[in-house]
Amino acid sequence: MRPNMPVLALAALLSLGALGSAAAAEPYREHYPQARIDPARGVDGDIGFSDTLPFWRTEAELERNAKWVGDPHEQWKLNWKFMDLDRVELHPGHLAVDEGEAMAARLGQRSPAFLLCLADGGKDLKGRAAAYPKYDAMLGRIVTVESHIEHCAKTVLNEEIRQGSPANNKLAVYFKSQSAGTPIKVDLGDGKLMESYRRGEKLFYAKTGQLNFACATCHVPGSIMGHKLRGETPTTPFADAAHYPTYRTPVGALESLQERFARCHSQMRTLQLKPGDPAYVDLEVFMTVLSNGYPVSVPSAR
Ligand code: HEC
């Protein structure tokens, strides 16, 4: 029997149409080969990845490897962790914590409900930052420390304290300092959070921008990681989220994790997004899961 030509043609057209709409929903992207990262291992996933974790995991290890500080070939293996907390003499990050604390107290005087909102109804902020980002069922979205501060300011004080603003960063660094030393424990049991993790993971490997680089092009083994690139050496992404917001010495200001994403995006000649953009929230979830089990390490300086 002869095939029914019009029907075949119609079928071909329909499948072309389906292809066309799929392409419209998701633009063509190349991907950097995916590294094997198991979210359940948290920061221990760096073992078998960059394998630098043993050099910077503890105070004692950092002490032992202090000889590498300033050595252009070895220093990257310390993941800059010697710049956290009190490991360097008093740095302006400490000042920022004090300023954030004073700001929180001032806003709390205006309305005690602001502090209550920050603490999710609890009596203080102790240990709370270690569980962020988390899914808020009432808001129907993932909440970061920075977006939580923005939300509480808006709803309780009717004030804009936008993510990425100096005021938000100061409050965030104070908020997180109340968890300094507490191991990060992002809730992998939450389905919504894991969906966000998977989206963030995908973004990490997706090539974008004029250079067609992915985050992974610089931050996974076998890539530029560990090699000097225009005076800088990209390090492992494990435990990075633990020390943000950080005090950036070269510019004399705090920088949130999502502002750092924007800076890497500008280095890769990719459109920079604003703090709070859903793509950056997903990347923050991905990176914070890679810090699970590692202590919150603010204040820090970079
Ligand atoms: C062209 C190479 C390159 C690309 C691509 C790149 N980065 Fe970076 N990134 C760097 C360098 C260099 C540093 C500074 C050294 C370091 O700490 O790793 C850095 C630092 C970081 C830090 C801060 C680390 C710290 O200890 O404070 C984060 C977080 C980060 N990158 C995330 C990303 C993400 C997410 C992407 C993709 C959106 C990305 N990077 C893409 C080169 C790159």
What is the tens place of the pLDDT at every residue in 240-250? 999 999 999 99
Instruction: For ligand 1, say whether the CB of 77 is within 6 Å of any of its atoms.
Output: no
Average pLDDT over residues 102-110: 98
**Distances, alpha carbon 205 to alpha carbons 121, 184, 201, 229, in Å:** 38, 24, 7, 19
Q: How many CB atoms lie within 10 A of CB 270?
A: 20
CB under 8 A, 24+ apart: contacts of 55-63? 55/79, 56/81, 56/82, 56/239, 57/294, 59/87, 62/87
pLDDT of residue 195: 98
pLDDT of residue 238: 98
pLDDT of residue 159: 97
Non-local CB neighbours of 267 within 8 Å, separated by 6+ positions: none
90 burial level (CB within 10 Å; 0-12, 13-18, 19+): exposed
Tokens for 163, please give them.
Answer: 């993510």
Tokens for 289, please give them.
Answer: 């899961």
Tokens for 144, please give them.
Answer: 């970061």
- How many residues can be counted in the chain? 302
Cα–ligand 1 centroid distance for 243 (angstroms): 14
**CA-closest residue to ligand 1 atom 7:** 264
Average pLDDT over residues 232-258: 96
Cα–ligand 1 centroid distance for 264 (angstroms): 5
pLDDT at 6 over 80: no
What's the CA angle centered on 245, arms 240 and 247, to 5 degrees? Answer: 105
> 23 falls in which pLDDT band (50, 70, 90)?
very low
pLDDT at 10 over 80: no
> Which of 52, 204, 218 is the best mutation target for the ligand 1 pocket, counting ligand atoms within 8 Å of the beta carbon and taking the most?
218
Instruction: For ligand 1, say whether the CB of 213 is within 6 Å of any of its atoms.
Output: yes
Instruction: For ligand 1, say whether the CB of 297 is within 6 Å of any of its atoms.
Output: no
Tokens for 256, please give them.
Answer: 């949130």
Tokens 């993941």 locate to 79
pLDDT at 8 over 60: no
pLDDT at 2 over 60: no
- In this predicted model, which residue has the larger pLDDT, 119 or 28? 119
Q: Closest ligand 1 atom, CA of 214?
A: 5
Q: How far apart are CA 239 and CA 264, in angstroms?
A: 17
pLDDT of residue 88: 79
> 5 falls in which pLDDT band (50, 70, 90)?
low
183 burial level (CB within 10 Å; 0-12, 13-18, 19+): middle
pLDDT of residue 1: 46
What's the CA angle centered on 25, arms 20 and 26, to 5 degrees? Answer: 100
Between the two ends of the chain, the Cα-to-Cα distance in Å is 74
Average pLDDT over residues 89-113: 95
Q: How far apart are CA 40 and CA 74, in angstroms?
A: 29
* pLDDT tens figures, 48-61: 999 999 999 999 99
Average pLDDT over residues 235-242: 98
Q: Distance of alpha carbon 109 from its chain centroid, rounded?
A: 31
Cα–ligand 1 centroid distance for 234 (angstroms): 6
Cα–ligand 1 centroid distance for 231 (angstroms): 13
Tokens for 126, please give them.
Answer: 């102790």
- The count of C-alpha atoms lying within 13 angstroms of the C-alpha of 192, restricted to the half-sphere facing its C-beta, is 12
pLDDT of residue 89: 76
Q: How many CB atoms lie within 10 A of CB 292?
A: 24
- The count of C-alpha atoms lying within 13 angstroms of the C-alpha of 173, restricted to the half-sphere facing its C-beta, is 34
> 206 falls in which pLDDT band (50, 70, 90)?
very high
Cis amide bond preceding 33, omega within 30: no
pLDDT of residue 20: 47
